[in-house]
């Protein structure tokens, strides 16, 4: 028989059991939520720092071709104005303005077939790079492949001759190749500048980074510094750095690290990543990624790649850039936050900074108007 005193003594324990169960449940939910947050953040971080050199699909079928035009299905990429590459398995061409537009098709000027056979039914892709392969195959330019000694081993680079004492070091973007820089190389070669089109860690044919990940410019910049040393050891008096996309972040970071900034005569940046924080925010928003996952992804990026994203926000270091700068900023850029580049330009000396704006997409300033791009570059170079 249970006494009243025993019943009263047991009551608190009975009341505590539901509370304990609730706390355990909350703890489980919290652990699961944090796990989900960390898992999503890990995945998103991989989208940023994982190396991926897989080729894009040939996703367009040619409708018709004659000697001067090519007809393609109407789409986001095929109807863009300007000059673009047309790539297919075993071939490359350059297409220009739209000369006729139908309900379902666009007919563009076929400026030239660089190599290969282009015919109706060929599967192709529209290429921002415009040119593929090497300087000789794409542009008929003389070049040699040289090895740049770095702390990780030799990095291959294209070396193109020229008469100027200033060399140009071109730096391509993330998961790309030196072929991305051929649009600029063409202009520099016409003006007589020697060019060194470099690779950096994790590129095809180059040594891997110790962790096998991109570092968004933090450590790739060391490979560009090694390329500058190579240029100086082989006759250059100074260099111009020209970077596209992440190559812009790499070039800017190299300029901040170099012991003698006077060795960098000028910097040209094309759709550069001047701030990874705002760029990742923009990309996350475009993918409907919620803010906590974005925050977690940034922290995981910093940990996995051993870097500080704030240290790669070039707007924090504008006083370290004394050399003349030319910035190609595309206001229709859906890959990089272009407003960070405009903010960066605002912090630079106005008399040593030139900003050219376009609206054709990421690294597409040349594609919008090749002649205007060349003229802007030539005017900048003549003022150095």
pLDDT digits (tens, 9 = 90+) for 23-36: 554 555 445 444 55
Give the CATH number for residue 153. 3.40.50.1820
Residue 22 confidence (pLDDT): 61
Nearest of 196, 198, 197 to residue 155 by alpha carbon: 198
Q: Token digits for 133? A: 């392969």
Query: Quick one: pLDDT band at residue 37, thresholds 50, 70, 90?
Result: low
Same structural domain for residues 74 and 139? no
Q: Token digits for 134? A: 């090497």
At which of 106, 127, 148 does a domain end?
127
Same structural domain for residues 198 and 310? yes
Same structural domain for residues 116 and 146? no
Alpha-helical runs (H) found in 258-337: 276-286, 291-305
Q: Token digits for 175? A: 């998961």
Same structural domain for residues 213 and 281? yes
The alpha carbon of 5 is separated from its chain's Cα centroid by a whole number of angstroms, namely 76
Residue 276 lies in a domain: yes
Query: Quick one: pLDDT band at residue 220, thresholds 50, 70, 90?
Result: very high
Q: Which residues contact 253 (CB under 8 A, 6 or more apart)?
A: 217, 218, 221, 312, 314
The pair phi, psi for residue 64, each rounded to 5°, is -160, 155
Same structural domain for residues 94 and 160? no
Same structural domain for residues 328 and 355? yes
- Residue of higher predicted confidence among 42 and 344: 344
Residue 16 confidence (pLDDT): 54
Average pLDDT estimate for 212-229: 98
Same structural domain for residues 98 and 193? no
At which of 101, 127, 153 does a domain end?
127
Same structural domain for residues 172 and 262? yes
Residue 302 lies in a domain: yes
Contact 105, 72 (CB under 8 A): yes
Same structural domain for residues 315 and 276? yes
What distance in Å separates the CA atoms of residue 114 and residue 72, rounded to the nearest whole number?
18
- DSSP secondary structure string for all residues of 209-237: PTTSS--TTTTHHHHHHHHHHHHHHTT-S
How many percent of the chain have pLDDT more than 70?
90
Strands (E) in 134-205, as ranges, are 144-150, 153-160, 166-171, 195-198
Same structural domain for residues 363 and 218? yes
pLDDT digits (tens, 9 = 90+) for 161-180: 999 999 999 999 999 999 99
Residue 33 confidence (pLDDT): 47
Average pLDDT estimate for 4-18: 53
Residue 76 lies in a domain: yes
Residue 179 lies in a domain: yes
Residue 92 confidence (pLDDT): 96
Average pLDDT estimate for 42-67: 92
Residue 363 confidence (pLDDT): 98
Least confident of 41-50, 149-158, 172-181, 365-374: 41-50
At which of 79, 99, 127 does a domain end?
127
Number of domains in the chain: 2
The alpha carbon of 172 is separated from its chain's Cα centroid by a whole number of angstroms, namely 7
Same structural domain for residues 70 and 182? no
Q: Mean pLDDT, the chain, as a whole number?
A: 92
Residue 75 lies in a domain: yes
Same structural domain for residues 111 and 148? no
Residue 30 lies in a domain: no
Taking the model in full, what pTM does it have? 0.90
Residue 141 confidence (pLDDT): 97
pLDDT at 39 over 90: no
Residue 23 confidence (pLDDT): 55
Structural domain span for residue 97: 60-127
């Amino acid at each position: 028989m249970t006494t009243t005193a025993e019943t009263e003594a047991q009551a608190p324990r009975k009341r505590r059991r539901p509370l304990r169960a609730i706390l355990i449940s909350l703890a489980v939910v919290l652990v699961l939520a944090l796990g989900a947050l960390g898992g999503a953040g890990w995945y998103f971080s991989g989208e940023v720092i994982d190396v991926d050199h897989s080729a894009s699909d040939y996703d367009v079928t040619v409708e018709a071709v004659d000697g001067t035009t090519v007809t393609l299905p109407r789409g986001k990429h095929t109807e863009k104005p300007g000059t673009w590459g047309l790539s297919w398995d075993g071939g490359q061409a350059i297409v220009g303005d739209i000369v006729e537009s139908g309900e379902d098709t666009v007919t563009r000027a076929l400026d030239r077939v660089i190599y290969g056979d282009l015919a109706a039914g060929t599967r192709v892709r529209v290429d921002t790079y415009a040119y593929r392969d090497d300087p000789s195959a794409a542009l008929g330019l003389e070049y040699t492949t040289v090895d740049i000694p770095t702390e990780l081993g030799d990095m291959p680079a294209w070396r193109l001759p020229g008469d100027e004492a200033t060399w140009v070091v071109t730096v391509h973007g993330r998961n790309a190749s030196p072929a991305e820089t051929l649009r600029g190389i063409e202009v520099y070669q016409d003006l007589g500048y020697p060019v060194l089109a470099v690779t950096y860690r994790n590129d095809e044919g180059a040594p891997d980074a110790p962790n096998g990940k991109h570092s968004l410019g933090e450590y790739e910049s060391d490979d560009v510094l090694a390329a500058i040393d190579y240029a100086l050891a082989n006759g250059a008096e100074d260099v111009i750095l020209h970077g596209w996309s992440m190559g812009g972040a790499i070039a800017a970071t190299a300029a901040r690290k170099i012991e003698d900034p006077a060795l960098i005569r000028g910097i040209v940046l094309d759709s550069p990543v001047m701030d990874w924080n705002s760029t990742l925010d923009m990309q996350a928003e475009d993918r409907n990624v919620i803010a906590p996952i974005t925050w977690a992804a940034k922290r995981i990026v910093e940990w996995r790649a051993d870097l500080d994203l704030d240290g790669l926000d070039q707007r924090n270091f504008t006083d370290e850039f004394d050399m003349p700068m030319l910035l190609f900023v595309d206001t229709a850029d859906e890959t990089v936050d272009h407003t960070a580049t405009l903010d960066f330009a605002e912090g630079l000396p106005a008399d040593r900074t030139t900003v050219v704006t376009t609206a054709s997409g990421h690294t597409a300033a040349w594609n919008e108007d090749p002649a205007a791009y060349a003229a802007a570059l030539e005017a900048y170079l003549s003022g150095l």
